[in-house]
Amino acid sequence: MLSKILLFFLVFWACPCCDFHPSRYSSSMQDANELPEDLSTAKEVILVQSNVLVKQKTEIDALKKEREELLAEIRFLRSGKKREKFINADQMLLELGEDKELQEALEAAKKEAEAEIERITYTRKKPSCEKKPASDKFPAHLPREVVEVAIPEAFQKLVDSGELIIKRYETTEALKQIPASLVVIQYKKPVLAYANNPEKELKVEEEANLGEKGRYHPSVAAKVVHGKFGLHLPYYRLQDMFGSSGWTPSRSTLDYLVEMASEVTEPLIKTMRSGLMTANCLGLDDTHVKLIMPKDIPDIPEAEQDAITQRLIAKMKEAKKEGKDSLDAKMWGYSSFDPSVPYDLFDFRVSRHRDGPDEFLSEYSGHVMADCYSGNMSVILAPGSKMTRMACWSHARRHVYEHQDYDKNVSALPLALMNQLYDIERRASQWSDEARGELRAKESRMILDRLKEWLDGPVAGSILPASKLGGALNYLRNHWDALCVYVTDGRLPIDNNQVERLMKRIAIGRKNWLFIGSVRAGIRNAGLMSLVASAQRQEIDIGMYLESAITHLLRGTARLEELLPDRWKVNHPEAVRTYREQERRDKADMATVQAARRRIRQQLRKSK
């Protein structure tokens, strides 16, 4: 992309239409001596040449503007993908002196920020001022293997003679890793017979396992599913992992285990989907995956074709015409923002057509956060739809941020106002839904009103609509109502970042497993990825959860509701990754402190 832009820029630089080449004007202008002697004719010639000059001036201005945009894009691409943040910290420190109501809110925010910093600093401070050495002990639940250190032979003789004595033993610990081991379970099943009729036997069945004749314990399938969809390992790496334990399965065997796990967990995934449909707000997004072209176009009567088959046939015909051997399929992600149903689900489709979200959300009535792709909007805003459309502030901000170099003086204000919206969200991240809603109504609404007034004003209006920055501002105007929905309810999110993080799982995975072999495999993988993603969201041991869920589902020893990741977590505290939960709390506290310090700096700057 960068090379193409540079090539275009170099061609433009050398183009004779640029104002660096005065020959463009002299070649099209007549010499004064060549003007007609007739006055009326001379005026006509001058008028025609004047129009030519005006047209050329307009073209030159447009090309200059295009060159500036290309230069800005080159600088952005050369800087690499970095976190979106302001180069100038003073962009956050806006002068809002004319708005008394907003000033009162900012003053209150300053006091609240100081209290918040004090609270977090106090709770994170160690109880003693003395610096204690870090603990060098390993977790107590790990088994210990005692190794008695041998006394050197020269000293041992002195000990035996009584010249030396063992005064005490000192203990140090070293952590040792033992490779994972596999165990073959032999079920010794009693065969019963009637005493008066030994030929009539009664067999006692062993506990249920996976595969033909129960060859595989659920723990093996859980290991494969976790490896493929949790750790993003392709089958050949899983072969190496099992090979180090003494068993080298074929790739078809590993795929067979995944297939069996999918069949067993299908009811649980359907239960998760039903719960997702009760959430007050959903987020959705999609990303592409490579689907290997089936050998033959399905020969199914049109009346018996479902939506996926119809779309597959159309895509296959199109790909065959273009000589392709694969299809650009889509994996849709749906994430609940409702803490009562905290599930993430994937849905595999052969295209980005609207029939994917249309079918998935057919029974949903609530708020939907999605990008402004026309297919999403046509589903959410369809006649008879009970869904409320929301737009993502992260998308809106990104558009302005990426094109701020077009005019930094203009882009500074909207970027700063949007950053203040996010500071409010950080302050209220640990608050109740009601308190967060009240804060948004009091402070976020005022900032939104100010931003809308600016968008409709002369400064924003001076930006050419056809420019990149003008397009970013038009994005704000066109989706303003959907962007402002979140302030009406403290339970609603400000952006769709949660779903974008979810979609990274697919992006990381496809770099390893590269492609999906069939439509059936795509549907199966989407279901298992949903189970793994929802478990990871709960910060639990995914392998332990999968083994437990597959075992109970296979043997019918638990209700479906008890195996949902959030319910299972409550009953298995030993599987909770407390260090991840602590990391999340620390990160939230740090963001809150940083936002509070920005508010205090703003007040200090205004007081000078």
| Structure confidence by residue, pLDDT tens digits, 227-248 | 999 999 999 999 999 999 999 9
| Per-residue pLDDT at 353 | 84
Q: How far apart are CA 385 and CA 362, in angstroms?
A: 9
Give me the amino acid identity at 424. I
- SS3 labels along 228-248: HHHCCCCHHHHHHHHHCCCCC
In the chain, the N- to C-terminal Cα span, in Å, equals 47
Residues of the chain with pLDDT under 50: 2, 5-30, 32, 86-97, 126-129
State how far Cα 282 lies from the chain centre. Answer: 14
Q: What helix, strand, coil percent values describe the chain, rounded to 5?
A: 60, 10, 35
Do 266 and 321 have their domain in common?
yes
Residue 251 resides in a domain: no
Of 488, 514, 547, the domain-final residue: 488
pLDDT, tens digit, 9 for 90 and up, residues 280-310: 999 999 999 999 987 777 777 777 777 777 7
Residue 601 resides in a domain: no
Give me the amino acid identity at 35. L
> What is the number of structural domains in the chain?
2
Do 481 and 506 have their domain in common?
no
Instruction: Return the half-sphere exposure (C-beta side, CA atoms, 13 A cut-off) of residue 264.
Output: 27
Do 386 and 513 have their domain in common?
yes
Find the helix or strand (DSSP H, E) in which 580 lies.
helix 578-607
Do 362 and 424 have their domain in common?
no
Query: Do residues 210 and 261 touch, judged by C-beta distance below 8 A?
Result: yes
Residue 225 resides in a domain: no
Task: Name the burial class of residue 530, with classes exposed (0-12), middle (13-18) and buried (19+) by CB atoms within 10 angstroms of its CB.
Answer: buried
Do 445 and 300 have their domain in common?
no
Residue 546 resides in a domain: yes
Beta carbons within 8 Å of 248's beta carbon, 6+ residues apart: 239, 242
| Per-residue pLDDT at 62 | 80
Do 370 and 447 have their domain in common?
no
Buried b (16+ CB within 10 A) or exposed e, 546-564: bbbbbbbbbeeeeebeebb
| Per-residue pLDDT at 604 | 67
Do 409 and 557 have their domain in common?
no
Q: 277: domain range?
A: 260-391+497-575
Do 275 and 379 have their domain in common?
yes
Strand 367-369 relative to strand 388-390: parallel, antiparallel, unpaired? parallel
Do 270 and 385 have their domain in common?
yes
pLDDT, tens digit, 9 for 90 and up, residues 165-190: 999 999 989 999 888 889 999 999 89
Residue 64 resides in a domain: no
Strand 197-203 relative to strand 344-349: parallel, antiparallel, unpaired? unpaired
The model's pTM is 0.77
Q: How far apart are CA 579 and CA 128, in angstroms?
A: 23
Query: Do residues 24 and 56 touch, judged by C-beta distance below 8 A?
Result: yes
Q: How far apart are CA 133 and CA 135, in angstroms?
A: 6
Residue 607 resides in a domain: no
Residue 196 resides in a domain: no
Question: Order of strands across the sheet with 388-390?
Answer: 344-349, 326-336, 281-292, 367-369, 388-390
Residue 167 resides in a domain: no
| Per-residue pLDDT at 21 | 44
Q: How far apart are CA 537 and CA 87, in angstroms?
A: 33
| Per-residue pLDDT at 605 | 66
Q: What sign results for the dihedral spanned by CA atoms 354, 356, 360, 362?
A: positive
| Per-residue pLDDT at 110 | 59
| Per-residue pLDDT at 28 | 42
Do 424 and 513 have their domain in common?
no
| Per-residue pLDDT at 275 | 96
The alpha helices in 479-577, defined as continuous H runs, are 480-483, 497-513, 519-537, 542-555, 565-571
| Per-residue pLDDT at 312 | 81
Query: Do residues 529 and 346 touch, judged by C-beta distance below 8 A?
Result: yes
Q: How far apart are CA 217 and CA 402, in angstroms?
A: 52
| Per-residue pLDDT at 392 | 95
Do 277 and 353 have their domain in common?
yes
State how far Cα 230 lies from the chain centre. Answer: 15
| Per-residue pLDDT at 150 | 92
Do 452 and 315 have their domain in common?
no
